[in-house]
Amino acid sequence: MSLRRAFPVLRSALSRRAPLSTAPATREQHAAGLEAVRGRGAAEAARPPVPAVDFGNTQEAYRSRRSWELARSLLVLRLCASPALLARHEQLLRLARRLLGQRLFDRLMKMTFYGQFVAGEDQESIRPLIQHNRAFGVGSILDYGVEEDLTPEEAERKEMESCTSASERDGHGTSKREKQFQAHRAFGDRRDGVVSARTYFYASEAKCDSHMETFLRCIEASGGASEDGFSAIKLTALGRPQFLLQFSDVLTKWRRFFHQMAAEQGKAGLAAMDTKLEVAALQESVVKMGIASRMEIENWFTVETLGVSGTLDLLDWGSLIDSRTELSRHLVVPNMQTGQLEPLLSRFTEEEERQMTRMLQRMDVLAKKASEVGVRLMVDAEQTYFQPAISRLTLEMQRRFNVERPLIFNTYQCYLKDTYDNVTLDVELARREGWCFGAKLVRGAYMAQERARALEIGYEDPINPTYEATNAMYHRCLNYVLEELKHNARAAVMVASHNEDTVRFTLCRMEELGLHPADCQVYFGQLLGMCDQISFPLGQAGYPVYKYVPYGPVMEVLPYLSRRALENSGVMKGAQREWQLLWQELKRRLRTGSLFHRQA
């Protein structure tokens, strides 16, 4: 089976819906958005002013924390700042467990690292913390923190087996896939160089079902914990990653073909949304390349599919890959190395087709459950060789479920060079088709790994050249989305950042654009145990803010705790400021005789 048939499968699995791109639906939904904006404007006069947020006021920032919790945070942050300890932390943990025994080791962990970064062992035991944070204006995003503890060799073996198709193992399909979208043994352990994201390795379809059940429990618990909850999922947990690699390869080649055609028409270097192909010139190019006859090509580019402008932009181009056009059976692209035309769509075996279908069905089950219990579902970003497929599948979920409000949120990693183009394209697509745009903005979790892989394998580094460039990209994307929110009350964004400057920038732009916290369009997110001096002042001022709340048995969340320790060591500027504020508040309580502080 070819990926050509993946599109109808994807449609049937994810898109059993009334058409969203018809003119009446678009007009009605656009009108609803404008009406919501007018309603928001009318209500502004009755709203109380937004309290100022002071991230340096330690008394307010740590009002929710007991003094011994401040002391624990100081200890954990200091330990995370020790390179010698971090270099040997796994050996030290094993030694402590052997010397203390399991019971004392668990108690030690709960008094230190586990107590700092993990809420409890199960959903029942974490309820007090969730309720406590909620009382201070901070919501929870539940995250079952258990990770499979594989050796590097085991991880490499699983990755190579699950990312290689049957045809590639037989030696027939390797050359048709670009290097970036092939499995490489040297990077088989996707955990290498990654400290701020969980990694899933494919084991079996039963294991994927187990991951889905875990996500379902988190969604249900989030729905029960608040009326405005979030949950997060990873698509590599839900199926064989080979499909994501192959689909990403297809989408990337198709977009590159568009830009090649644009260059031939003298339109190279324009922004993604400003690049438009002249249809007449494109038809001539396609005929000359021998892809199809002139009569067949005229049937592709009709008024019904492209309108009357005589031009075709990247969103129109992307829609042509859909099986609803006859173009799908002609899809070939030039091989950049050989100059020969090659089929764009790869082949699947029957078993690979079943695995792909089950992956899409699991996504559908999760989205339906989130819709039933009123929980927003954030689809996490992953490595660039998976991400085009992840974003496309997320978009299909948004088309179906983001009809009345933004239920499905796509994640954009702002350390990537093409993030702004992707954000602007997706916002425009949501406008045209009439669904609600939802985004989570992050800086990104795979920088070191992505750079090393690109250098070793030999493709362009997808990462921005400097930290400053990544900050600029984040703020540029955020500003664009906030501008959209000003005119569209049905769109929303999650600002997932521990960077105080980014949060200040967001608050400033919200004030300038008239975006009130009560509109619940702009959300903030941080990890449990990190940056309370940002989360709690925001919550107490009325901004929607959430903590990622991991839970699970002590021994089974040790890989998660290891990554949290390493992440704190990697952001020492922010951790140092947090340490200073914690110490400042503890000294204030000692000085004023309020060491036995009672939360209010």
Task: Quote the pLDDT of residue 145.
Answer: 79
Query: 333-375 pLDDT, tens per residue?
Result: 556 555 555 655 566 678 878 888 899 999 999 999 999 999 9
Residue 441, pLDDT above cutoff 90: yes
- The confidence score (pLDDT) of residue 21 equals 30
Assign 13 a pLDDT band (cuts: 50, 70, 90): low
Residues 6 or more apart whose CB falls under 8 angstroms from that of 577 comprise 500, 533
CB 575 within 8 A of CB 63: no
Give 319 or 68, the one with higher predicted confidence. 68
Euclidean distance between CA atoms 171 and 246, whole angstroms: 16
Instruction: Return the percentage of the chain with pLDDT > 70, whole number.
Output: 81
State the pLDDT confidence band at 30, using cuts at 50, 70 and 90: very low
Q: Does the pLDDT at position 45 exceed 70?
A: no
Q: Could you give the 3-state DSSP secondary structure of residue 84?
A: helix
Q: Is 417's pLDDT higher than 50?
A: yes
pLDDT for position 82:
83
Q: How do residues 133-190 score in pLDDT, each as one tens digit? A: 999 999 999 888 777 878 889 999 999 989 887 666 666 555 577 889 988 999 999 9
Looking only at the bridges linking them, the beta strands covering 341-343 and 408-413 are: unpaired
Predicted confidence at residue 556, as pLDDT, reads 85
- H/E stretch holding 598: none
Average of per-residue pLDDT across 82-98: 86
| Cα–Cα nearest to 316, from 279, 288, 270, 263 | 279
Between 566 and 464, where is the model more confident? 464
pLDDT at position 593: 86
Task: Give the range with max mean pLDDT: 146-160, 209-223, 312-326, 479-493.
Answer: 479-493
Alpha-carbon gap, residue 357 to 109, rounded angstroms: 42
Report residue 596's pLDDT band, with 50, 70 and 90 as the boundaries.
Answer: confident
Share the mean pLDDT of the chain.
84
Mean pLDDT lowest among 123-132, 317-326, 466-475: 317-326
pLDDT given at position 167:
67
- Kindly state the percentage of the chain with pLDDT values over 90: 52
Q: How confident is the model at residue 24 (pLDDT cuts 50, 70, 90)?
A: very low
The residue type at 48: P
SS3 per-residue string spanning 530-543: CCHHHHHHHHHCCC
Q: Please determine, for residue 42, whether its predicted confidence score (pLDDT) is greater than 80.
A: no
- Examine the pLDDT at 515 and tell me if it is beyond 80: yes
* pLDDT of 571 higher than 60: no
How far apart are the C-alpha atoms of 221 and 231, rounded to whole Å?
9
Token pair 């599948």 is at which residue?
393
pLDDT of 573 reads 53
Tell me which DSSP letter residue 405 carries: S
The alpha-carbon radius of gyration of the chain (Å, integer) is 25
pLDDT score, position 26: 39
Q: What pLDDT does residue 348 have?
A: 67
Model confidence band, residue 421 (pLDDT cutoffs 50, 70, 90): very high
pLDDT at 497: 95
pLDDT at 600 over 70: no
List pLDDT tens digits, range 234-279.
999 999 999 899 889 888 988 888 898 899 899 988 888 899 999 8
pLDDT for 323? 45
pLDDT tens across 494-510, in order? 999 999 999 999 999 99
- Greater confidence (419 vs 247) lies with 419
CB 564 within 8 A of CB 113: yes
Q: What is the pTM of this model?
A: 0.88
80-105 mean pLDDT = 88
**pLDDT over 60 (residue 460):** yes
pLDDT at 337: 54
How confident is residue 20, by pLDDT bands cut at 50, 70 and 90?
A: very low
Instruction: Report the run of H or E that residue 121 belongs to, with start and end.
Output: none
Residue 276: its pLDDT value, please?
92
Which of the pair, 568 or 377, is modelled with greater confidence?
377
Which residue is it, tokens 């990077």?
A: 187
pLDDT in tens, 295-326: 777 777 666 666 667 888 898 888 776 644 44
Please name the residues in contact with 294: beta carbons below 8 A apart, sequence gap of 6 or more.
Answer: 283, 287
pLDDT confidence of 6, banded at 50, 70, 90? low
